[in-house]
Structures are given as C-alpha cells and as structure tokens.
Amino acid sequence: MEFLSSLEDVKQTIIENTEFIRSLENCCDDNFRENVQKLLNETMKDRLKIGEDIIALKAKHKRIDAALQNVLNEAETVEEANAKCAEILENEERKRTNIKQSAEYKEFKQRMTAVGGDSNATNVNDEEVTEVVEPGGKVVSMFDPWSKKLMLNPVRNTKCGHHYEKDSVDAMLQGNSGVRCPIVGCPIKSCISLKHLEPDIALREKIRAYKAQQELAESVSDEEEN
C-alpha cells in the first residue's frame, strides 16, 4: 500500500505543479504569460505520458498483488506457490491493456486539460475528444472550470461566452455576489450574474454523446482485460 501511495503522491504532484505554473499567469505581464503558456504547451505531452505510466504501474501492481494473494491462499506447497507466482509474472509481462480507457487516467487527463496547454498539446491520440469546436472556430471545453469534472448541465455566460456546470456556478454564487469568470485570460472583469447564464442545449447533447461513447469504450476495455 505504501508503494501505491507513493505513486499517487507523484501523480498529484504533477497536477499541482501544472496548476501552479498556470497560476503564474495571473500575476505577471503579457510577455511572462506567453512564456508560461509556451512552457505548458511544450511539456504537457510529457506530463500526460508520465501520468499514464504511473497509472499503468499502479494497475499492474494491484493485479499482481491480488493474484499473489490468491496463490498464498490456495497453494498447498512452497513449490506450487513458486510455480504459480512465476506463471503470474510471466502472464503479466505479456498482458497489454489500454490504460487510457481507465477511469483514473480519464480523470487525470481531464484535470490536466482543464488547467493548461493548447488543444494540440493535450491531444495525445488516446481517442478522446474533450473539446467542442463551435461555429466560428471557438473551442469550448467539456469540463467545468471549478470542479474539473465533465459537465452534465452546461450553462453559458452571455457576457464572455464561457461555460460552467450549472450546479458549480450556482454553488459559487450562493451568498457571494463577487464571483468572476474563472477562465484564465477572460477579458470580462464584471462579476457573474445568474441573469447572464443560459443553458447550452447543443453542448449538453454533445457531452452526453461523448460520455456514452466513453462508457462503451470502457466497458469493452474491461471485457478484454477480464
């Protein structure tokens, strides 16, 4: 468990480091902000790959640990246990799983995508489309800027055009009238008002289609792994 905990700590450090770098944009001049964006774009694929490797290692460790526990419970002799352990390790080396379809990797990538990097930097050919291109070429993220989770009921801020999950923005505005758009670089400095929020039905339907596709892919991946 200590090994798994250490891997989780490394994964969280990657996320927190990325969030910290992105936060520097809010306290510096335009030239420095450009350098911050460039740094995120240049390193995002490497950050995602390291996260993928960590998650794959965690999954492998869990599978081996569970299999070895079964051997210890079922083997009647030391020789039998050694033979089964060797077989487990050999089979594990031959196993090929698509970790990018796992729930943990999807959550990791969602958080990284929500934090920073342009659309090219976060497109790592894992067959996920986490953004929608609207008429006119505007790119809209499917993820809520506060919770970093996939939106279920997206609303659009008519003042700036950015989107939020309805439950998230409602919670933020409850008893607080001084909330501004959380999207980095938003040009609108006025506070968010409920009267400026409208449901985005088209985006909601695209998110539902995306979610259904991912659930199907994950189901197929689980069947192949089993």
pLDDT in tens, 28-80: 677 777 787 788 888 888 888 899 899 988 888 888 888 888 878 888 888 88
What is the value of pTM for the model shown? 0.52
**Order of all β-strands in the sheet with 154-157:** 163-165, 154-157, 197-199
Q: How many residues does the structure list for the chain? A: 226
Provide DSSP, 54-101.
Answer: HHHHHHHHHHHHHHHHHHHHH-SSHHHHHHHHHHHHHHHHH----GGG
Assigned fold of 129-226: Herpes Virus-1 (3.30.40)
CA proximity to 180, closest of 145, 132, 136? 145
pLDDT, tens digit (0-9, with 9 covering 90-100), for 12-30: 999 888 888 877 766 667 7
Q: Where are the domains of the chain?
A: 1-125, 129-226
**Alpha-carbon span 90 to 67, nearest angstrom:** 12
**Alpha-carbon span 189 to 186, nearest angstrom:** 8
- So what's the pLDDT on residue 123? 52
